[in-house]
C-alpha cells in the first residue's frame, strides 16, 4: 500500500494548494446557468453545467458564487448590454477564480461576466430556431394568410394589467373616424419562462373561436426592454407561424425582431403602433370606398349626360337625314318629271315624225296604187268604151234594121187596122144606144144607175127614163114581176 | 342578413368590376340602373360595417369564456 497516510484535512489542504498553484489567476469559463438563487444579503449562488452537444446530457457541473457587491454591478451591466434577464438557462462567459474549501470543495468565485458571449449564443440559438422553422416549412405560413382589408374583430393576447394594453384599447375604440373595432382579451403572462406556455394557451383558446376573429394581436405593455427570450422560443414561434389567423405583434422593443415577430403576419413595434396600423387600414379602406363612390357618381353622371347628348345628337341627325332624304327624293322626283316630260316630247316627236313618215308613205303608196289602178281602169275603160262603141254600133245597125223592119210591119199593121177600124165603126154605129133609143128603146135609171131588175126598186122611188131625144121623171106606183 | 356577410374585399371587387363595366360602356341603360343600386347597396353595407356596431358580434364576444 502507500507509505504516507494523510488526514482528510491534510488532503484537502494539498488539493487546495495545488489548485491555487495551477489556477493562480482567474480564468474565463463558458457554462450554462442551470440553477440560480439570490439570498437576502444579495449574494448569488449558481449551479453551472455543461451539456453534451446534441444529447443535452450533463457532462460537467460546478457551483459558483457571485458576492453581493460584485453581483450588484454585474447584473445591471449584463442585462442592459444583452437585453436578457440574468438567470437560469442562459449560456454565459464568466471570469472565475477557482477556490477550494476544505469543507465545501470546489467553487467558482465569479469576478466578471462577458455579455457579448451570451448575445452571440442567443443569436446563434435564434438562427438555429429560424433555420428549424424554415426547415419545417412553417416560417412564412402566417404571412401567407390574407389579412382582411379592415380587420375589425381582434383577439388580443396581453397581460390584463399592462399599461400598453389600455393604451391600445383606448386608441382603437376612441379613434377619430368612428370606426368600429371589436376586441376580446385573452389574458396571458408576457414575461419570463412561463410566458411561451401561457401565450400558447391563449392561442389555443382563440383557435376555438377562429371564425369570430379577423386577426390576433399580441401586445406587451412597454416598460422593461428585458426578457424577450420567451419570444425567441421555438415552440411559441412554431405555434404563431402555423396559426390560422393573421397575427399582429406589438411586443414593445426597439432591438432586433424576436422570432415571433419574424414569423408573425405583421410586426409593429408597440401596442400603439398596432392600433395605428389597424385604424389607418380602416381609414385607407374608407377613403378608397369614398373615392370609388365619387368616381362612381361622376361616372354615372357622365354616362347619363353622354347618353343624353348622344340621344339628342341622334335625334338631330335623324331629323337632318330625313330632311335630306326628302329633299333628295323631291329632287329626284323633279328630275324624273322633267326627264319624263322631255322624253315624252321626244317620244311624241319621234312618233309624230314616224307617223308622218308612214302617212307620207301611205299616201305615196296609195297614189301609186291609185295611179296604177287608174291606168288599169283607164285601160279597162278604153277597152269597155271600145267594146261598148262597137256594141253600140252593132246594136245601132241592128236597131236600124229592126226599125226598118218594124216600119214596114207597122205600116202593114196600120193598114190592116184601118180596115178593121172602119168595119168596127160600122158595127159601132149599129150598136150605139142613141141609135137604139131612136129605134124606140128606153133606159130606166134610179139615182144615176141603170135599173135592170124590179128588185132594185121600191114603191115611191123617183125614176128617170131616158129616150132618144130627152128624159122623163116618174114615181113608182106599183111593182109587178113577170112570171 | 345574407347581404351582410359580404366581405370588404368582395364588396370592393364587385364595385370595381361594375365600375369597369360602366367605364367600358358594356351596360345598357336598364342594366346601368340595376348596377347603380347594387353599388349603392354595397357601399352602404361597407359603411355600416365600418361605423355601426353589430350587437350580435358584441354579444358573442362578451359571452365567450376562455
| CATH 3.40.50.2300 domain range(s) in chain A | 137-287
Q: How far is A189 from chain B (nearest CA, A)?
A: 15
Among B32, B36, B60, the residue with its CB nearest the CB of A212 is B60
Cell reading at A331: 329632287
The reply to whether residue A180 touches residue B46, judged by beta carbons under 8 angstroms, is: no
The reply to whether residue A292 touches residue B15, judged by beta carbons under 8 angstroms, is: yes
Chain-centre distance for alpha carbon A313: 23
The C-alpha atoms of residue B19 and residue A295 are separated, in whole angstroms, by 8
The reply to whether residue B19 touches residue A299, judged by beta carbons under 8 angstroms, is: yes
Question: What is the number of helices (H) and of strands (E) in chain B?
Answer: 3, 0
The reply to whether residue B50 touches residue A285, judged by beta carbons under 8 angstroms, is: yes
Query: Which parts of chain A sit beneath pLDDT 70?
Result: 1-2, 222-227, 253-256, 483
Q: Which CATH class is domain A8-127?
A: mainly beta
The bridge status of strand A449-450 relative to strand A266-268 is unpaired
Helix (H) or strand (E) holding A371: helix A271-431
Cell reading at B53: 356596431
Cα A398 to Cα A392, A404, A405, distances in angstroms: 9, 10, 10
Sign of CA dihedral A265, A269, A270, A274: negative
CB neighbours of residue B63 within 10 Å = 7
Cα A262 to Cα A11, A240, A254, distances in angstroms: 57, 10, 14
pLDDT score for A483: 66
Residues 6+ apart with CB under 8 A from A139: A130, A133, A241, A262, A263
> Least CA distance to A288: which residue of chain B?
B12
Q: Chain A interface, mutation test: which of B12, B16, B50, most A Cβ atoms within 10 Å?
A: B50
Residue A227 Ramachandran class (φ > 0 left, ψ -120 to 50 alpha, else beta)? left
pLDDT score for B1: 35
> Least CA distance to A202: which residue of chain B?
B66
Given CB atoms, is A148 within the 8 Å cutoff of chain B?
yes
Half-sphere exposure of A259 (CA within 13 A, CB side): 29
Q: Chain A interface, mutation test: which of B46, B53, B54, most A Cβ atoms within 10 Å?
A: B46
Among B8, B22, B52, the residue with its CB nearest the CB of A299 is B22
| CATH 2.40.50.140 domain range(s) in chain A | 8-127
Contact list, B9 vs chain A (CB under 8 Å): 148-149
Q: Are B50 and A285 in contact (CB under 8 A)?
A: yes
The values of phi and psi at residue A64, to 5°, are -145, 155
Among B43, B50, B61, the residue with its CB nearest the CB of A179 is B50
Q: How many Cβ pairs closer than 8 A exist between chain A and B?
A: 73
CATH number of A137-287: 3.40.50.2300
Strand partners, A361: none
Q: How far is A309 from chain B (nearest CA, A)?
A: 14
The C-alpha atoms of residue A175 and residue A283 are separated, in whole angstroms, by 10
Cα A19 to Cα A97, A107, A468, distances in angstroms: 11, 11, 249
pLDDT-based confidence at B3, cuts 50/70/90? Answer: very low
Given CB atoms, is B10 within the 8 Å cutoff of chain A?
no
The C-alpha atoms of residue A427 and residue A414 are separated, in whole angstroms, by 19
pLDDT score for A176: 92
A236-249 pLDDT, tens digit per residue, is: 999 999 999 999 99
Given CB atoms, is B41 within the 8 Å cutoff of chain A?
no
Q: Chain A interface, mutation test: which of B7, B8, B28, most A Cβ atoms within 10 Å?
A: B8
The reply to whether residue B50 touches residue A150, judged by beta carbons under 8 angstroms, is: yes
Whether the complex's predicted ipTM surpasses the cut of 0.90: no
Given CB atoms, is B13 within the 8 Å cutoff of chain A?
no
Cell reading at A424: 168596127
Chain-centre distance for alpha carbon A465: 149
Contact list, B49 vs chain A (CB under 8 Å): 150, 152, 180
Decide: helix, strand or coil at residue A470: strand
pLDDT score for A350: 84
The C-alpha atoms of residue B57 and residue A212 are separated, in whole angstroms, by 8
Decide: helix, strand or coil at residue A104: coil
Given CB atoms, is B5 within the 8 Å cutoff of chain A?
no
> By C-alpha distance, which of A445, A430, A122 is closest to A256?
A122
Strand partners, A186: A157
The bridge status of strand A247-250 relative to strand A266-268 is parallel
Helix (H) or strand (E) holding A334: helix A271-431
Q: Are A221 and A158 in contact (CB under 8 A)?
A: yes
Given CB atoms, is A300 within the 8 Å cutoff of chain B?
yes
The reply to whether residue A180 touches residue B50, judged by beta carbons under 8 angstroms, is: yes
Cell reading at A256: 432586433
CA angle, A152 as apex, A277 and A258 as ends, to 5°? 45
Given CB atoms, is A370 within the 8 Å cutoff of chain B?
no
Q: How far is A233 from chain B (nearest CA, A)?
A: 24
pLDDT score for A1: 55
Cell reading at B41: 347597396
Q: How far is A268 from chain B (nearest CA, A)?
A: 23
Given CB atoms, is B60 within the 8 Å cutoff of chain A?
yes
**pTM for the predicted model, two decimal places:** 0.59
The reply to whether residue B43 touches residue A289, judged by beta carbons under 8 angstroms, is: yes
The C-alpha atoms of residue A196 and residue A409 are separated, in whole angstroms, by 195
The C-alpha atoms of residue B13 and residue B46 are separated, in whole angstroms, by 12
Q: Chain B interface, mutation test: which of A146, A147, A149, A207, most B Cβ atoms within 10 Å?
A: A149
Q: Are A63 and A106 in contact (CB under 8 A)?
A: yes
The reply to whether residue A186 touches residue B9, judged by beta carbons under 8 angstroms, is: no
Cell reading at B30: 336598364
Cα A181 to Cα A21, A169, A178, distances in angstroms: 71, 9, 9
Among A148, A180, A183, the residue with its CB nearest the CB of B8 is A148
Contact list, A296 vs chain B (CB under 8 Å): 15, 19, 22, 39, 43
Laid out side by side, the sheet with A449-450 consists of A449-450, A443-446, A462-467, A470-475
Amino acid at each position: 500500500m502507500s507509505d504516507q497516510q494523510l488526514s482528510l484535512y491534510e488532503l484537502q489542504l494539498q488539493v487546495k494548494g495545488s489548485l491555487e498553484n495551477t489556477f493562480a489567476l482567474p480564468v474565463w469559463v463558458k457554462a450554462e446557468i442551470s440553477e440560480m438563487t439570490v439570498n437576502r444579503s444579495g449574494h448569488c449562488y449558481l449551479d453551472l453545467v455543461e451539456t453534451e452537444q446534441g444529447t443535452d446530457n450533463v457532462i460537467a457541473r460546478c457551483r459558483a458564487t457571485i458576492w453581493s457587491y460584485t453581483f450588484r454591478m454585474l447584473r445591471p451591466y449584463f442585462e442592459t448590454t444583452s437585453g436578457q434577464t440574468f438567470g437560469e438557462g442562459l449560456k454565459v462567459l464568466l471570469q472565475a477564480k477557482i477556490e477550494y474549501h476544505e469543507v465545501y470543495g470546489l467553487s467558482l468565485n465569479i469576478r466578471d461576466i462577458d455579455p457579448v458571449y451570451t448575445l452571440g449564443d442567443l443569436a446563434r440559438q435564434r438562427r438555429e430556431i429560424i433555420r428549424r422553422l424554415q426547415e419545417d416549412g412553417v416560417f412564412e405560413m402566417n404571412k401567407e394568410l390574407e389579412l382582411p382589408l379592415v380587420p375589425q374583430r381582434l383577439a388580443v393576447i396581453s397581460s390584463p394589467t399592462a399599461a400598453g394594453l389600455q393604451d391600445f384599447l383606448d386608441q382603437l375604440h376612441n379613434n377619430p373616424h368612428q370606426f368600429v373595432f371589436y376586441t376580446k382579451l385573452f389574458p396571458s403572462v408576457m414575461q419570463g419562462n412561463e410566458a411561451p406556455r401561457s401565450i400558447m394557451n391563449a392561442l389555443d383558446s382563440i383557435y376555438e373561436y377562429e371564425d369570430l376573429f379577423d386577426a390576433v394581436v399580441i401586445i406587451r405593455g412597454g416598460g422593461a426592454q428585458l426578457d424577450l427570450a420567451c419570444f425567441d422560443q421555438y415552440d411559441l414561434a412554431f405555434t404563431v407561424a402555423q396559426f390560422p389567423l393573421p397575427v399582429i405583434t406589438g411586443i414593445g422593443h426597439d432591438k432586433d425582431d424576436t422570432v415571433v415577430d419574424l414569423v408573425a403576419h405583421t410586426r409593429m413595434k408597440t401596442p400603439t403602433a398596432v392600433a395605428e396600423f389597424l385604424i389607418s387600414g380602416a381609414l385607407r379602406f374608407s377613403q378608397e370606398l369614398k373615392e370609388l363612390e365619387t368616381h362612381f357618381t361622376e361616372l354615372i353622371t357622365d354616362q347619363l349626360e353622354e347618353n343624353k347628348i348622344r340621344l339628342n345628337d341622334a335625334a338631330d341627325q335623324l331629323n337632318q337625314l330625313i330632311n335630306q332624304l326628302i329633299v333628295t327624293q323631291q329632287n329626284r322626283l323633279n328630275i324624273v318629271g322633267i326627264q319624263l316630260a322631255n322624253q315624252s316630247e321626244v317620244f311624241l316627236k319621234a312618233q309624230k315624225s314616224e307617223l308622218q313618215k308612214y302617212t307620207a308613205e301611205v299616201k305615196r303608196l296609195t297614189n301609186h296604187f291609185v295611179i296604177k289602178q287608174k291606168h288599169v281602169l283607164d285601160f279597162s275603160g278604153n277597152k269597155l268604151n271600145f267594146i261598148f262603141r262597137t256594141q253600140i254600133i252593132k246594136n245601132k245597125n241592128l236597131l236600124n234594121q229592126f226599125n226598118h223592119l218594124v216600119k214596114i210591119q207597122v205600116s202593114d199593121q196600120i193598114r190592116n187596122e184601118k180596115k178593121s177600124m172602119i168595119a168596127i165603126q160600122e158595127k159601132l154605129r149599129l150598136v150605139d144606144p142613141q141609135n137604139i133609143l131612136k129605134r124606140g128603146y128606153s133606159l130606166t135609171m134610179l139615182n144615176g144607175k141603170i135599173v135592170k131588175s124590179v128588185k132594185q126598186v121600191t114603191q115611191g122611188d123617183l125614176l128617170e127614163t131616158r129616150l132618144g131625144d130627152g128624159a122623163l121623171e116618174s114615181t113608182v106606183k106599183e111593182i109587178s114581176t113577170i112570171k | 342578413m345574407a347581404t351582410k356577410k359580404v366581405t370588404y374585399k368582395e364588396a370592393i371587387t364587385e364595385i370595381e368590376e361594375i365600375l369597369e363595366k360602366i367605364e367600358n360602356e358594356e351596360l345598357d341603360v336598364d342594366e346601368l340602373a340595376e348596377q347603380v343600386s347594387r353599388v349603392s347597396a354595397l357601399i352602404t353595407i361597407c359603411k355600416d360595417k365600418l361605423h355601426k356596431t353589430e350587437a350580435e358580434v358584441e354579444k358573442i364576444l362578451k359571452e365567450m369564456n376562455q
